[in-house]
Structure 1
């Protein structure tokens, strides 16, 4: 998880502020863009990349994502005929050296495993690196760029093919350059028409479901380099369902575009969506593993309790850590969360280290206990409210989940 907060050193600093706003949530993806005014920009200004490289190298689990234009004058509304000519020049190898230079700089700065989002939103009309004027030349050009960057010793780049969601100017599958030069199939997906509802965005041609299906057919992982709110306004239902979609489909990474009108932290225009984003992502940190107690030699398992050869006994329920609930959420029925200190070895001096607090479930009387004798008690019925958002409620009419529990007493004890 990450967010685009700004380019260069400002973006790096703001990651720490966003993390604090999210209650300490781990933000392990850093995302920035190379400008595309000139080939010098595309070769990568070390002053822009270096702060991100330093941030990335501080922790091995961090990911650096870099959007790389494929043409200079990339946002100057160059005509289709000019784009067609430039794509053919790229396909012939005219621009290979610029991308080799970029690859060398990334390796030299210590980020040889950068995720390169090359020629993003190629199915649209905005950028000079768009695909529509000549898809065949565009695909050949992409292959040349990837080959040039992979030729640099020490590189371990991954290349992310990331179109706009939907049809746009051309169906993005017509621009797909081949499995051997693509590692991730991404999608930039903002809340805007023609996807008036989230279901439209899933089901439309070349939409979210098409991306997932295409990636599965090509044995690729998926990503969402850019996503956020847009022309549909402050839409908490979209925010809730997009976050769930990303989780359910196990995107390798996702970065929210966090400035107005798309964002939630640096944009005051979307307070309802901001609350959803913050509540769904609040205080998500990797749990510290706590070792299970190891019996001392004097402790002998009870007769009949010894594990089978080659098997390890499962920890008792009281030893199983349970995540701390997100603020505003209620623990699941059947348990409350009570802090239980866990032992922790101290330093070599023999001093005991502070024991971490592990949250474990402690049963409460949500249901009556099953009787051991006599007639069963009356059935128990419960209803729980479902916070599915207005769109789910209107589509399916669901607002609560009800269930009934009955007991049976066996005839023989």
Structure 2
């Protein structure tokens, strides 16, 4: 019997509530909910709204989702994010009386559920509200709300959300961060320590390790903060090296214009999981210039045996092993978000590439497996429950 199965049996009598922000698509935070439902099959599931497509509902394990009044508001299916100002009130109306353990999956308001003194509330934080805290200026700029009446309203709303966000942190018994970077943000915003449990990555999907590697690849949504433009600009300066760009989004037209006359930069748009795996497994390295909360695609690249050339900020620091670590190296860092820094990092990588072993990258990815997530979360919950008792 596995360690996780034994612990599961110890916990099967607990009444467990899992609270998620909103169910719209199967993405990174939904992977966490999926694993929590495996850990606690008896759990009841709550969310602000549930508009998950039928084709993606398998991750819910057949659970009915208990939602809030926002689910029934006009145009909620398409525009529920516009009801952000009502979400703190909505999440506080969820009735969690009678549950022994509440696990919230939080990047906005889920941690604001009201719990009693005999209940244990463990909050898994994907990120504190970025748009309300240190990324407010970027959010207002990208939303074209830097000036005018709409800007005043947005700034007042975000101010109100910040106050509520800090107050509601008091109802959490244990914070869990998905990376050391997010743990530092939790410390900054809530003045609370957080345990780090890396999010689950299905590394079993990425086992096609190849040794004949030629080109470079970046896989990402094309949104401003991902800085795909910097990666493309860098390879414009390296015409003898080929870059494959996989992804789609509002920045696609900008990226297409940048790469219009560069035969060494190949845009693929959005691809299937199997096609993404194919490019990751054949790549000489995965290049990424964003500051991410964690970085699941970086782990998927490592699972394919692919080294990383990534910005030295955010969750990447938890993923890449360096040459001075006994297990390393599994990649190269660059220290500023610029095309020049990426070019220099690629040159450095070319010089050290033979020392980065695909099997070592693959072994590194095992630290972020679904099984590792479940084991580590069980330890956190056991510790929290023992303190309560």
TM-score by length of 2: 0.31
TM-score by length of 1: 0.30
Q: Highest CA radius of gyration, 1 or 2?
A: 1
Which structure has the higher relative contact order (CA within 8 Å, separation 6+)? 2
Determine which structure has the larger helix proportion and give its number: 2
